[in-house]
Structure 1
Amino acid sequence: MENEFRKGTGPRQFRYSELATATDNFSDDKKLGEGGFGSVYRGFLKDLIIEVAIKRVSKGSKQGRKEYASEVRVISRLRHRNLVQIVGWCHTGGELLLVYELMPNSSLDVHLHATDNVLWWTVRHKIVLGIGSALLYLHQDWKECVLHRDIKTSNVMLDASFNAKLGDFGLARLVDHDKGSHTTELAGTLGYMDPECTVTGRASTESDVYSFGVVLLEIACGRRPTAARPDGTLIHLAQRVSELYGQGRILEAADARLDGNFDPQEVERVLVVGLWCTCHDRNLRPSIRQAINVLRLEAPLPERLPPVGHPAGPLPMPDSDTGHSSCTSTAQQLI
């Protein structure tokens, strides 16, 4: 794996002792989150004078080691203002550690669903464009196509200025630009995952676009992707917004906590593009570049949208991780 990292130009190799010192020997006081694959610690690197988040993979976690290898192959080679940057790495004596820039404003989902504070529209819109810019880079502008496979609001980190930084590349895969998809095991998070992926396991740029669409709707509506009905089934947010769209009332889907303090054209475009990205037929979804052009007011809205979500109505699925057991939400806020 050292050769993989050295293909990149930025990350440096740390000694284990340096990272132990930065975290007070990985003390519980420095622990930010813990999960099946490992723990995340807050640290301070004195020589670089920066605060960092350090992911320490559990020695007994095969999936954690697999995701570590994926991040080694992918994120260490990527450079974009809207991606979480890896500072360095360490693998010695059976220890696997990744060092990331620390995101002081945690993750997007924390702010969207906070009960004591409202994320105002101008900030939300900047975040929308930032996530789109990151995905455009991954899908089209880098030398290889990167499929993220787990785009969700808890994987969108926020820096001190609330700029979006897409993180957690543990499930990411590289594919050639002339190949449209990559068949693999089921991975991602239900609610954000393209329904077709739950059947075929085939990840593609279109499935990433679907997840992006769900995130757009969550940002504009301030609601989580799925909600329970009285009979126990779950209805997807895209279906709820689609009903209002069909009635010509789409702006009523906007987060009520914004109290109308938003640009109606921007909100409409975020909602409509969200629906466009989540349409059931992946062949009718926009490319990320088409979506970004509409969001930036550089292209018109589609005249008519195809059906969204699942053709059979409410989605009978739990809103939980499949194929990816992340750390607790606090840890997800970091990487």
Structure 2
Amino acid sequence: MASISANSLHFLTALLYISIPVIFTATVVDDLNNLQPPPDFKSTITNNCRRNPSLRYCNSTPSDLHQIFKSTIVASHLCNISGNPNCVESFPKIDLHAQPKIAPLYLSFTFFWKYCPLTILSIDLSNNSLTGDFPTDVFYCSQIQALDLSHNDLSGDLPIQNFSLLENLTFLNLSYNDFTECRISDTHFFERFNSSSFIRSGLVPNHKEFRIKAVLLLVGLPVLVLVMVVFWGWLCFLQIRNERKFRPSMLKVATDGFSARNLMMKNGRASAYRGVLRDGSEVRVEIYLDAMSRENRRRFVEQCKILVQLQHKNIVPVLGWCGGRRLRAVVTEWIDGENIETLLSSCNPPWKQRVQVILGIAAGICYLHQEWPQVGYNLKTRNIMLSADGEPLITRFKLLDDHHSSTKKTYEFGMFMLEIVTNRRGSKELDQKSVDIVEWVKSNYPDNVENVIDKRMKKTVEIVSEAAEVLEFGLTCIDASNSHQPSWDRICDLLSDISSTAIPSASPDHWTSRVQRGGGRKHVHHRGVQ
């Protein structure tokens, strides 16, 4: 780049005086790198300041001369780029609207803004995707009347106090930026300009958007909470359901590979193991060995889903099931106690305890009859366990038993009562005509009741009388002929009535009178069983 001639220098000093830069042919960056101030530049600056002391460079030091010279170069380029009609005579505006490639460059020239020409009245830096904080260098141009920084991405706090430097500013546009919302104490600043100056600037809340957000908050929050509650409830349901459904591998681990030392029972159709789950709880795992069709597996699972819902103090809690093709099992709590068969054969329980066992099992059966009539169960004395607090528990269920009718249930309960009184086991089913224990009791009742009462039990007059009542009630439940067998609705009403008063404190006709009212067979006291 050729050096500046004397005439050019004189022209340049004139421009400095009226704050209009000269036009150069090279780019602003090239001119800044290649051009140097002429030798008499200092004297020119001094003369200009003598004529007009208000020029911004008048209080500068000799070391600032190079910066002042560079500002004239930038002013020359910027005046032409901004579309001013005659940069030799006037430089009224900086217009970098929608020029995102060069706007940041000119904003970076702090030395230009420091010596901003006094003729500039308007600055337009809109629509340039500018980022970061507000460009505070524009405050050097304190004489401006219009400033447009709209449609950028400026953020952070707006230096509101600095706007007091721009006394002539009448037009301001900061819309469509992302500034930090101003404090209430800054309301005077907003009163100075039109509200259109701050549309979606972030400086003031958008009342329309606020109303929309308020509505969304008031409506959406309860809906969101409801959805979350339903969602978490569903997750809990799935978790509970999954916890109740055991995989074969889980049961194998719990029983130590179905080891022989954990085998508690085995017959032709099922086997039972003692196991320990991962959480340390002990369980009884009853495995069904017989082959099962796909339809029966489905029914098996449906019945197990019912078993896990049973809640009664006389029914063992069912924890879950396994319904695989190769392994089907029901998992219940482990009852660490003795069964009724063992209790009768080895401990000779007193009469009062025997009655409590009968009433407890009857209460469990009534619960099943009223709430879950489709559930079958096994009332053999070896399958009735005593809990830690002495409550008798039904521990085994009959799955896929379509023949477990109400009549059969009543029959099994009658047999259970006879076994409790006599300490003998029935070995035949209802459809067999010769049932040993039943025939034996009938042959001794009512004249020789003492012969069938457990021989080890103390036989007071009161106990013998009450045992006779229990035996008659048992025979009534067993007798399915001639509609003598009472319905379970009647039995439950009866047992509900007498459960509040223990049998040992009842009158001799305590059971018999209620059976008669309940629609069972007639009282046959001292006259034989028909």
Is the pair's TM-score, using the shorter chain for normalization, greater than 0.5?
yes
- Matched residue type, 1:217: L
| 1:213 matched residue in structure 2 | 414
Query: How far apart, CA to CA, are the structure 1 residues paired with 2:451 and 2:270?
Result: 42
- Matched residue type, 1:219: I
- Matched residue type, 1:130: G
Which structure has more strand as a fraction of its residues? 1
Residue 211 of structure 1: how far off its partner (Å): 1.2
* 2:492 is equivalent to residue 289 of structure 1: yes
* 2:392 is equivalent to residue 164 of structure 1: yes
Asked if the contact 2:377–2:396 (Cα under 8 Å) also holds between the matched residues in 1, the reply is no
CA separation of 1:28 and 1:226: change in aligned 2, threshold 3 A: closer
Residue 9 of structure 1: how far off its partner (Å): 7.8
- Matched residue type, 1:145: P
| 1:118 matched residue in structure 2 | 348
Asked if the contact 1:71–1:169 (Cα under 8 Å) also holds between the matched residues in 2, the reply is no
Residue 295 of structure 1: how far off its partner (Å): 5.5
SS of the residue corresponding to residue 52 of structure 1 reads strand
Query: Per-residue CA shift, 1:254-305, capped at 9, x if unaligned?
Result: 1111132784454233212112111242622223225525764576354524
Asked if the contact 1:71–1:170 (Cα under 8 Å) also holds between the matched residues in 2, the reply is no
SS of the residue corresponding to residue 354 of structure 2 reads helix
Asked if the contact 2:377–2:394 (Cα under 8 Å) also holds between the matched residues in 1, the reply is no
CA separation of 1:66 and 1:257: change in aligned 2, threshold 3 A: farther
Asked if the contact 2:318–2:330 (Cα under 8 Å) also holds between the matched residues in 1, the reply is yes
Partner of residue 36 from structure 1, selected from 251, 254, 268: 268
Where does structure 2 lack aligned partners over 5 or more consecutive residues?
1-236, 500-505, 517-521
* 2:148 is equivalent to residue 148 of structure 1: no
Query: How far apart, CA to CA, are the structure 1 residues paired with 2:441 and 2:308?
Result: 38
| 2:87 matched residue in structure 1 | none
Asked if the contact 1:84–1:165 (Cα under 8 Å) also holds between the matched residues in 2, the reply is yes
CA separation of 1:50 and 1:258: change in aligned 2, threshold 3 A: same
| 1:190 matched residue in structure 2 | none
| 1:250 matched residue in structure 2 | 449
- Matched residue type, 2:352: T
| 2:246 matched residue in structure 1 | 14
Where does structure 1 lack aligned partners over 5 or more consecutive residues?
174-183, 188-202, 228-232, 312-335
Q: Which has the larger radius of gyration?
A: 2
Which structure has more helix as a fraction of its residues? 2
Residue 52 of structure 1: how far off its partner (Å): 0.8
| 2:314 matched residue in structure 1 | 82
| 1:237 matched residue in structure 2 | 437
Asked if the contact 1:138–1:145 (Cα under 8 Å) also holds between the matched residues in 2, the reply is yes
- Matched residue type, 1:281: S
- Matched residue type, 1:284: H
SS of the residue corresponding to residue 146 of structure 1 reads coil
Asked if the contact 1:273–1:295 (Cα under 8 Å) also holds between the matched residues in 2, the reply is no
- Matched residue type, 1:253: V
Query: How far apart, CA to CA, are the structure 1 residues paired with 2:386 and 2:244?
Result: 23
Asked if the contact 1:10–1:76 (Cα under 8 Å) also holds between the matched residues in 2, the reply is no
TM-score scaled by structure 1?
A: 0.66
Aligned alpha-carbon RMSD (Å): 3.7
| 2:426 matched residue in structure 1 | 225
SS of the residue corresponding to residue 111 of structure 1 reads helix
Query: How far apart, CA to CA, are the structure 2 residues paired with 1:135 and 1:235?
Result: 23
* 2:523 is equivalent to residue 304 of structure 1: yes
| 1:108 matched residue in structure 2 | 340
Partner of residue 284 from structure 2, selected from 43, 53, 68: 53
Query: How far apart, CA to CA, are the structure 2 residues paired with 1:76 and 1:224?
Result: 30
Asked if the contact 2:283–2:334 (Cα under 8 Å) also holds between the matched residues in 1, the reply is yes
Residue 80 of structure 1: how far off its partner (Å): 1.3
Asked if the contact 1:37–1:61 (Cα under 8 Å) also holds between the matched residues in 2, the reply is no
Map 1:183-198 → 2, pairs under 5 A: 184=402
| 1:191 matched residue in structure 2 | none
Query: Per-residue CA shift, 1:152-190, capped at 9, x if unaligned?
Result: 3233222233321113222466xxxxxxxxxx5xx5xxx
The structure whose RCO (Cα within 8 Å, separation 6+) is larger is: 1
SS of the residue corresponding to residue 374 of structure 2 reads strand
SS of the residue corresponding to residue 145 of structure 1 reads coil
Query: How far apart, CA to CA, are the structure 1 residues paired with 2:247 and 2:399?
Result: 26
* Range with bigger deviation, 122-131 or 164-173: 164-173
SS of the residue corresponding to residue 335 of structure 2 reads coil
Query: How far apart, CA to CA, are the structure 2 residues paired with 1:104 and 1:21?
Result: 20
| 2:359 matched residue in structure 1 | 129
CA separation of 1:290 and 1:308: change in aligned 2, threshold 3 A: farther
- Matched residue type, 2:282: E
